[in-house]
Amino acid sequence: NAGVMQNPRHLVRRRGQEARLRCSPMKGHSHVYWYRQLPEEGLKFMVYLQKENIIDESGMPKERFSAEFPKEGPSILRIQQVVRGDSAAYFCASSPLSEETQYFGPGTRLLVL
Amino acid sequence: AQSVTQPDIHITVSEGASLELRCNYSYGATPYLFWYVQSPGQGLQLLLKYFSGDTLVQGIKGFEAEFKRSQSSFNLRKPSVHWSDAAEYFCAVGDSGATNKLIFGTGTLLAVQP
């Protein structure tokens, strides 16, 4: 069983560009979480999604950030008009319907120039 | 509000020595507790978890943790550290409500001396 997949692993953007981060959960997992790890900090919750639904986006910045988890395909975290402060590692985690353990992907490291 | 505190930012131990990493949490109900390990440039790997039952939990790689409700602690231990254990360790509490989002501590960076 393949683990959680994230791509790209590294992403470089210039200020003002858009960043799209993809997450494919483990097979059979329908819950997806996104976390952000700023340099020298722990992980902070951003958003929790189930298929076609955003359940909790209390950790998402109010502007420029959005997330989706369509019926088919990976979950997408989208950052519009990136700024240098968006430089961070973005981790996706997935869990099965009835369990509480989250399994993490390798992360996408975003660098904004 | 829920929170997790890892008081030690950096710890250095000698290979073969014992290890204890501290974790304290603040949570109103019975918490779900986790320890994850992160190697440089990598994702997080689950070491162990506590949901209920026996308060001494065994994990992978020879790690164990003990849940102490009276102290609001969930310290991670290993009797004999290996050089490959050098990494960053994160304690997390799960929101056992509807979302089960994880709240992480700031991490403890472990260095292992030969």
Distance CA A8, CA B36 (A): 23
**Chain B residues inside the 8 Å CB shell of A48:** 99-101
User: Tokens for B73?
Assistant: 């602690």
Name which of B36, B47, B99 to mutate to probe chain A: the one with the most chain A Cβ atoms within 10 A of its Cβ. B99
Q: What does the alpha-carbon distance between residue A22 and residue A74 come to, in Å, rounded to a whole number?
A: 6
**Hey, are the CB atoms on B102 and A43 less than 8 Å from each other?**
yes
Test B99 with A105 for CB contact under 8 angstroms.
no
Determine contact: A55 vs chain B, CB below 8 A. Answer: yes
The answer to whether B24 touches B5, Cβ cutoff 8 Å, is yes
Residue B29's pLDDT is what? Answer: 75
Preferred mutation among B2, B46, B49, B100 to probe A, highest tally of A CBs within 10 A: B100
- Taking residues B73-80, report their average pLDDT: 97
Tell me which residue of B113, B33, B40, B3 sits closest to A45, measured CA to CA: B3
Does residue B31 belong to the interface with chain A, where contact is any CB pair within 8 Å? Answer: no
- Cα dihedral B92, B107, A42, B71, rounded to 10, equals 40
Predicted pLDDT of residue B12? 97
* Arithmetic mean of pLDDT, B16-31: 90
CB of A95 within 8 Å of a chain B CB? The answer is yes
Q: Is B10 on the interface with A (CB under 8 A)?
A: no
Largest CA distance in chain A: 41
d(CA A85, CA A104): 23
| Chain B residues in contact with A55 (beta carbon < 8 A) | 98-99
What integer pLDDT is reported at residue A28 of this predicted model?
86
Q: From the list A31, A102, A106, which residue is nearest B102 (CB)?
A: A102
- Do A91 and B44 lie within an 8 Å CB cutoff? yes
pLDDT along chain A (113 residues), means of 10: 89 98 93 91 92 92 95 95 96 82 93 97
Token pair belonging to B19: 């290890």
Q: Please, which pLDDT band fits residue B111 given cuts at 50, 70 and 90?
A: very high
B25 vs B31, higher pLDDT: B25
Query: Is the peptide bond preceding residue A8 cis, with omega within 30 degrees of 0?
Result: yes
Mean pLDDT, chain B, integer: 92
Q: What is the per-residue pLDDT for A100?
A: 73
| Confidence at residue A1, expressed as pLDDT on a 0 to 100 scale | 56
Taking the Cβ of residue B97 and every Cβ of chain A, the question of whether any pair is shorter than 8 Å is answered with no
Q: How far is A62 from chain B (nearest CA, A)?
A: 19
